A and B are shown apart, each in its own frame.
Chain A
Amino acid sequence: MTTKFTPDHEYIRIEGDTGIVGITQFAQEQLGDIVFIELPAIGKVLKKGDEAAVVESVKAASEIYAPVSGTVSEVNAALSTEPGLVNADPEAGGWMFKLTLADVTETETLLDDAAYADLTK
């Protein structure tokens, strides 16, 4: 199991051919209190970089992009009643959606832990 990152502050945790997507600790701190999350429909086919979800803070809406290509297989339904989970626990309980990866090798283009840490330093 590895976790990769985008320069736009999404993470994707890869478990076999499934990727679990959310936003990083850094991103949730930047956004502040999250009050509403719009999640993709299950079955939606996304290309890398497509808009996948929208996170609303008190002040603004921010788009979440698909880190890699794939099909949405599951969404975190808890976020519809408790969007603050993304603030409290972004990289575990605050995950947003799961993708069945179209091409596992695509994840190699993403940032690893060290490279992402470097970006947000």
Chain B
Amino acid sequence: MSPTSPRVFMAEPESQDLKQTPLYARHVAAGGRMVAFGGYALPVQYPPGIMAEHKWTREHAGLFDVSHMGPCFLMLNERSGDADRDHAAIAAVLEPLVCGDIAGLPPGKIRYTLLLNEGGGIEDDLMVARPPTGKEGGLFIVVNAATKDVDFARMSEAAGQVARLQRADRGALLALQGPEAAAVLARLVPETADLAFMEYGLYDWNGIGLSVSRSGYTGEDGFEIRCYAEHAETLWDALLADDRVKPIGLGARDSLRLEAGLPLYGHDLDLTTSPVEADLGFAISKRRREAADFPGAARILAERSEGPKRKRVGLIVEGAPAREGAAILDADGAPIGIVTSGGFAPTLGKAIALGFVPPDFAQAETVLQVSVRGRPQPARVVPTPFVPHRYHRKTA
């Protein structure tokens, strides 16, 4: 049999100098199978395994260590004291790099946006939060682990003399996800119940400062919680003391996000993929579109009106899972595209994939094929998410 454990998660060479998160000892003690990911040693799974961990998260609450991600603060060097003016000033630093409306973010709200290059390709996808009222003049930003050094350098350069970028990736970032996440967190910090999806707040928990976003990467309701490294184990233990919560590894994190139809940077998105191709047009705000003032606007706006050359689609695959790199074929067997993420969906009990095909083949229910180990297997285009999102949206 080949391979055994290391390639079971995304291939990455074994390395002696892997970084550890503040929760490394907890993962090892819990029997986590540690693998290299984004330069960090992280658990791909715990003893129950990916399938059980995945299902637990969909039914209860899963706790993930995502401290390898890239949180940072972009802060004005000098604040005027006027909240709106300060926010406008810091938004003006970031906006030239992204396609989102950062200036229009209300206090305590989060926006998903994209760092773009001049060719209209995606440099990274990221979350940007405007701090709650009274803490203006900065932005809280979380970028991907594998791209964080490049992203931080880009944002620092854009900050010039006006602002500064402060990395916050030495601390801990935990994700608590699942239908019981809100009840669990409310037991520790009752005020978090007031947050709606894509809202952000700062809280005190027994003297420990927590920054909490109601967001995540599983399609479930849940939170991403940041604290200083020295408090990480205390918070981890307190959350796990609730028997609705179990620790979940990177393997289930990936199968959960795939079912939720959420793209993964470096796999479904890269420097050549445009937001229109990637079906992330919602991330281009109306104001920015009308002003055409973001990197790669010429290509992206042309694709919006004339259609892109390829489009990201969801596929349900019959038979063996089609993994990243598998060819997508039309009904006659001609190659038309490529799978960028694929695997088994524990919630659906079948194989699913994300991939790119020409727009003529992107309609739901289009019958296609995927080539797995040189043999064609039936596949059909389906709308994403594969499993409905269950975010806690505020009702007006």
Contact = CB atoms under 8 A, between A and B. Distances in A.
Contacts of A61: 320-321, 323
A33 B4 CA distance: 13
Interface string B309-333: 0000000000111010000000000
A65 B4 contact: no
Interface residues of B, number: 27
A112 B140 CA distance: 59
A10 interface: yes
Interface stretch (B46-54, B225-233, B385-393): B46-54
B344 A56 contact: yes
A36 B351 contact: yes
Query: Which of A9, A57, A63 is the most central at the interface, judged by chain B CB atoms within 10 Å of its CB?
Result: A57
A8 B1 contact: yes
Interface stretch (A12-20, A24-32, A69-77, A97-105): A24-32
> Interface SS of chain A: helix, strand, loop or mixed?
strand
A63 B2 CA distance: 5
B125 interface: no
B300 to A, nearest CB: 33
A8 B2 contact: yes
A54 B45 contact: no
Query: Which of B2, B3, B44, B343 is the most central at the interface, judged by chain A CB atoms within 10 Å of its CB?
Result: B2
B321 A36 contact: yes
A58 interface: yes
A60 B1 CA distance: 13
Contact of B7 (A9, A33, A54, A60): A60
B394 interface: no
A95 to B, nearest CB: 14
Contacts of A56: 320-321, 344
B50 A58 contact: yes
A62 B373 contact: no
> Interface SS of chain B: helix, strand, loop or mixed?
mixed
Interface string B372-393: 0100000000000000000000
A21 to B, nearest CB: 11
A110 to B, nearest CB: 14
Given A32-B45, A35-B344, A38-B320, A58 B1 contact: no
Contacts of B51: 32-33, 35, 58
Nearest to B10: A59
B49 A59 contact: no
B16 interface: no
A31 B319 contact: no
A5 to B, nearest CB: 11
A66 to B, nearest CB: 12
A23 B323 CA distance: 22
Nearest to B3: A62
A36 B344 contact: yes
A46 interface: no
Interface of B: 1-5, 7-9, 44-45, 49-52, 54, 251, 254-255, 319-321, 323, 343-344, 346, 351, 373
Interface of A: 8-10, 23, 27, 30-33, 35-36, 38, 54-65
30 contacts: A9-B4, A23-B1, A27-B4, A30-B5, A30-B8, A32-B49, A32-B251, A33-B49, A33-B51, A33-B52, A35-B51, A35-B344, A35-B351, A36-B319, A36-B344, A38-B373, A55-B1, A56-B320, A57-B50, A57-B344, A58-B50, A58-B51, A58-B54, A59-B8, A59-B50, A59-B255, A60-B8, A60-B9, A62-B1, A64-B1
